[in-house]
Structure 1
Amino acid sequence: MIIELFSIFFKIGLFSFGGGYAMIPMIRNEIVSRGWLTAEGFANIVGIAEMTPGPIAINMATFVGFKTIGFFGSVAATLGVVMPSVLLILLISKIFFKYQSHPIKQGLFYGMRPVIVGLILSAAYFMAETSLFIVKPGEWTGNFLSQVDWVSVGIALLTVVGIRKYKLHPILLLGVGGAIRIGLKFVGV
């Protein structure tokens, strides 16, 4: 299973462009489809990886590896997700700088940008689906609005305003969001 975990994260590291958030849908598909984690468990790992220091892709690989196998799983997954980048950078650095202004290279990068946006939006959709609704996806019954966790929606909207308008630090917002939820639990909401 360690070799399988390494190869999965190697593939994720090799075929994911656009940074860690763009990797989330691919990691989710690989891990949840194998039954190593539930969608909810994966969403929790995304949250933990987001609030810990370091790149989210490496943090996620480390947490998923640890959750599935333990210490050696975290080492295998982390090495797997990092190794393709290291190898590719070593291989293409000379070519990249030699042909920096070539139209094909520029076209490739401009063409990949919308795909990266789509991957990030897909990750955001997954997180919204598992975080902003009272019931799990696929279990909805009745009115859509009755399925919404309005407290979570409010916290999410306040987070967007806090970051975009007031430039608040994400760690502060994570702490405030957690404190709001804890406080509401104590008052029975």
Structure 2
Amino acid sequence: MSKKVSLWRIFLTMFKVGALTFGGGYAMVPLFRAEYVQKYGWITDEDMLNMIALSQSIPGAIAVNCSVLVGYRRRKIKGALAAVAGSVLPSLITLTVVTYLYQAVRDNAYVAGALRGVRAAVVALLVSAFLGFMKPFYKDALAVAAFFAAFLLSFILDINSIYLIIGGIVFGIALGFLRIKKSDNARDGGTAP
């Protein structure tokens, strides 16, 4: 990951992700992972998870936020700007064209069918990305338990995601504190202060 990446490469990669993904947001995650983690090695799976978590917890579109973080990681401010331009431009072009043509195609059965097919494919890609992201957590029972707790709170009880994010932050800090304390106790021979 130490090789300097050109601003043009950052722009083109983000443009490709933006142009090939329908649905925005989490629908872009599988392609983000394929490009940034697997193809170019710009970030790791763990970095990707952290960026998604951070992108979700700050204002703005998750796809743009992730692009900014990846671009910044590779080339600082210029990389972030190239990434934003690349990730936003396909949507801007598409939205401009679709807005112009909307009245002519809004009731077209072929267009409606194509969109249903795209939605089904997006769900499959999201499940695939999710399973890939979960691999690092399989060995951490507390992380798996936290995942299932957050899922149940969100899916069954319909708890607002901001509360889940805040809860995750508090849980993560507490867990980190306990692990540090446990490590310190082990280093000191198991004696408590």
Q: Normalising to structure 2: TM-score of the pair? A: 0.83
**Quick check: 2:33–2:129 contact (8 Å CA) kept in 1?**
no
Q: Could you tell me which residue of structure 2 aligns to residue 21 of structure 1?
A: 26
- Please, which of 58, 64, 70 is the counterpart of residue 58 of structure 1? 64
Aligned-residue Cα RMSD (Å) equals 1.6
Find the residue that maps to 2:165 and give its secondary structure: helix
User: Is 1:97–2:124 an aligned residue pair?
Assistant: no
Larger Rg: 2
**Within 5 A, what are the aligned runs for 1:25-44?**
25-32=30-37, 33-44=39-50
C-alpha displacement at 1:153, in angstroms?
1.2
Q: Distance in 1 between matches of 2:108 and 2:84?
A: 34
**Quick check: 1:23–1:119 contact (8 Å CA) kept in 2?**
no
Identity of aligned residues (%): 28
Equivalenced residues, count? 174
Q: Distance in 2 between matches of 1:53 and 1:125?
A: 26
Alignment gaps of 5+ in structure 2: 1-5, 183-193
Q: Could you tell me which residue of structure 2 aligns to residue 86 of structure 1?
A: 92
Q: Could you tell me which residue of structure 2 aligns to residue 143 of structure 1?
A: none
Deviations 1:83-125 (Å, cap 9, x if unpaired)?
0111111123232221211111111112212101112212222
Q: Distance in 1 between matches of 2:149 and 2:122?
A: 25
Alignment gaps of 5+ in structure 1: 134-147
**Within 5 A, what are the aligned runs for 1:1-189?**
1-32=6-37, 33-130=39-136, 132-133=137-138, 148-188=139-179
